[in-house]
Amino acid sequence: MSTALKQVFNKDKTFRPKRKFEPGTQRFELHKKAQASLSSGVDLKGAVQLPTGEDLNDWIAVHVVDFFNRINLIYGTICEFCTDRSCPIMSGGQKYEYRWQDDHKYKRPTALPAPRYMSLLMDWIEVQINNEEIFPTSIGIPFPKNFLQICKKILCRLFRVFVHVYIHHFDRLGTMGAEAHINTCYKHFYYFVTEFNLVDRKELEPLKEMTSRICN
């Protein structure tokens, strides 16, 4: 990453604190392996494939946390421009609107301003990935039976951040000189979720044209 981009994507811009892997753990080693593949010039389609002998759930867990950190960082760069006034509804253009629902305050799908939706989303994901019963970090503790379903929901909702940023704030990222970096992050995410069928194709529709342009 260039010096200019490092200044754009600095830790102070992170929307939420980054989740890190503990050194010495298997998850940390997998994370290093994934990062090494990305920085070695390997094509992204190859980089997302499950390494021989590795557990699929571990591989997905590492990537879910990594994508949370990266997308969190991307949104952090534009969050000061994403306001209740500029984005009164969490959407992806006029055709797609995303409503928030959880098991607490919002038990029914509720239309919210984009900043509020993003805040609730990042809080919700943090709870999931910091829950040892869902994302175990100790050797010998199994993943829950519904682990894949939880990850699919997390990744589906993270994809909506890309949708909103690309459609409503991409000019701002272009002004920052960050377009190439965001495109690479998106390609990595797209190749991963499609490699393991983690996001429904219907959910990917809002960025179909963008995907065709940068992923082919």
Please report, for residues 76, 93, 188, the alpha-carbon distance to residue 176 in angstroms, rounded to integers and kept in the order given. Answer: 13, 22, 21
Looking at beta carbons, which pairs linking 93-102 to residues 24 or more positions away fall under 8 Å? 93/167, 93/168, 93/206, 95/206, 96/163, 96/206, 98/160, 98/163, 98/164
Rounded Cα gap, residues 156 and 164, in angstroms: 13
Please check whether residue 128 is in contact with residue 148, taking contact to mean a CB–CB distance below 8 angstroms.
no
Angle between helices 147-175 and 56-78 (to 10 degrees): 30
Q: Identify which of 113, 112, 116, 118 has the alpha carbon closest to the alpha carbon of residue 77.
A: 118
Residue 44 phi, psi dihedral angles, 5° rounding: -60, -30
Asked if residue 63 belongs to a known ligand binding site, the reply is: no
Rounded Cα gap, residues 116 and 83, in angstroms: 9
Asked if residue 82 belongs to a known ligand binding site, the reply is: yes
Asked if residue 164 belongs to a known ligand binding site, the reply is: yes
Question: Which H or E element spans position 91?
Answer: strand 91-92
Q: Which residues are annotated as a binding site for Zn(2+)?
A: 82, 87, 164, 169
Binding-site positions read 82, 87, 164, 169
